[in-house]
Structure 1
Amino acid sequence: MLNISKTELVKRLDLDEFDSGKRVLHRTHFEYFNRFLIGFAIIMIIVLFLPWTQTVTGNGFVTTLTPDQRPQTIQSPIPGRLETWFVREGDRVFKGDTILQISEVKSEYFDPELVNRTDLQIDAKEQSVESYDFKIQSLRQQTVALQSELQLKLNQAANKLEQAKLKVVSDSIDLEAARTNQTIAERQLERTATLEDEGLKSQVDVEQKRLKLQETQAKLISQRQKLLQSKNEVTNAQIEISRTRQEYAEKIAKTRSDLGSAQSDQLDVAVQVSKLQSDRANYSMRNDLYFITAPQDGFINKAIKSGLGETFKEGEPLVNIMPSNYDLAVETFVEPIDLPLLHKGEHVRVQFDGWPAIVFSGWPNASVGTYGAEIVAVETFTSSNGKYRVLLAPDNIDDESWPEALRPGAGAYTIALLEDVPVWYEIWRQLNGFPPDYYTPESDSKDDKKK
Structure 2
Amino acid sequence: MLELSPESPLERREKEAINKQYLSLKTLYSPASIKLLSYWLMGVCILAFIVLFLPWQQNIRAMGELTALSPQDRPQIIPSPIDGRVDKWLVQEGSYVEEGEVLVVVSEIKDKFFDPKLIQRKEEVIGAKEDAIKAKKKKIDIYNQQIQLLRNGLALKLRQNENKILQQTFKVESDSLAWMAGIVDFENAERQYYSNQILYDSGLVPLTYLEASKSKRMKAEAKILVQQKKLDVSRNERKILGLENNAIQVSVLDKIAKIESEQTAAIAEMAEAEGSLIKLRNELSNLKIRAEYKNVRAPQNGYIINAKKSGVGETVKLGSPLLTFMPDKPSLAVALEVDAKDVPFIGKNRHVRLQFEGWPAMQFDGRPDIAVGTFGGEIKVIDSVIGKNGKFRVLVTPDPLEMNEAWPSELRMGLGVKAWILLDEVPTWFEIWRQLNGFPPKQKSKDEAPKMAKKG
Fold shared per TM-score above 0.5 = yes
Q: Quick check: 1:371–1:399 contact (8 Å CA) kept in 2? A: no
Query: Residues 11-410 of structure 1: matches in 2 within 5 Å?
Result: 28=31, 30-200=34-204, 205-306=209-310, 308-395=312-399, 397=402, 400-410=405-415
Q: C-alpha distance in 2, partners of 1:95/1:152?
A: 73
State whether structure 2 residue 420 is matched by structure 1 residue 415: yes
Task: List runs of 5+ in structure 1 lacking aligned partners.
Answer: 1-14, 446-451
Could you tell me how far apart the structure 1 residues matched to 2:74 and 2:354 are? 20
Change in Cα spacing, 1:310 to 1:24, as seen in structure 2 (3 Å) is farther
| In 2, Cα distance between equivalents of 1:386 and 1:373 | 24
Q: Say what the alpha-carbon RMSD is for the aligned residues.
A: 3.3
Aligned counterpart, 2:453 = none
Give the distance between the partners of 1:120 and 1:52, measured in 2 at CA: 81
Deviation string 1:300-331 (CA, Å, 9 cap, x unpaired) is: 21223446554444344322111232343211
CA drift at 1:259: 4.4
Secondary structure, in 3 states, of the residue corresponding to 1:299? strand
Q: Which amino acid aligns with 1:181?
A: D
Distance in 1 (CA, whole Å) between partners of 2:435 and 2:408 is 34
AA in 1 matched with 2:435 = Q
Alignment-mate amino acid for residue 314 of structure 1:
L
Moved more, 305-314 or 147-156: 305-314
Offset at residue 152 of structure 1 (A): 1.8
In structure 2, how many angstroms separate the alpha carbons of the residues matched to 1:399 and 1:47?
A: 32
| TM-score normalised by the chain length of structure 1 | 0.83
Q: Structure 2 counterpart of 1:127, which letter?
A: D
Structure 2 length-normalised TM: 0.83
**Greater alpha carbon shift after TM alignment, 256-265 vs 297-306:** 256-265
The residue number in structure 1 matching 2:454 is none
Structure 1 residues 59, 260: CA separation in 2 closer, same or farther (over 3 Å shift)? same
Q: Distance in 2 between matches of 1:385 and 1:176?
A: 121
For 1:145 and 1:217, the matched residues in 2 are separated by 53
Distance 1:191 1:328 in 2: 141
- The 8 Å contact of residues 84 and 109 in structure 2, kept in 1 or not, is answered as yes
Give me the whole-angstrom Cα distance separating, in 1, the residues matched to 2:59 and 2:124. Answer: 73
Gaps of 5+ in 2: 1-18, 451-456
Distance 1:409 1:23 in 2: 71
Shift in Å, 1:425: 0.7
Amino acid at match of 1:427: I
Instruction: Encode CA deviations 1:10-31: one digit per residue, 9 max, x unaligned.
Output: xxxxx96899x99987562544
Deviations 1:348-403 (A, max 9, x none): 11112233333322122333332222333333333333322222223472764434
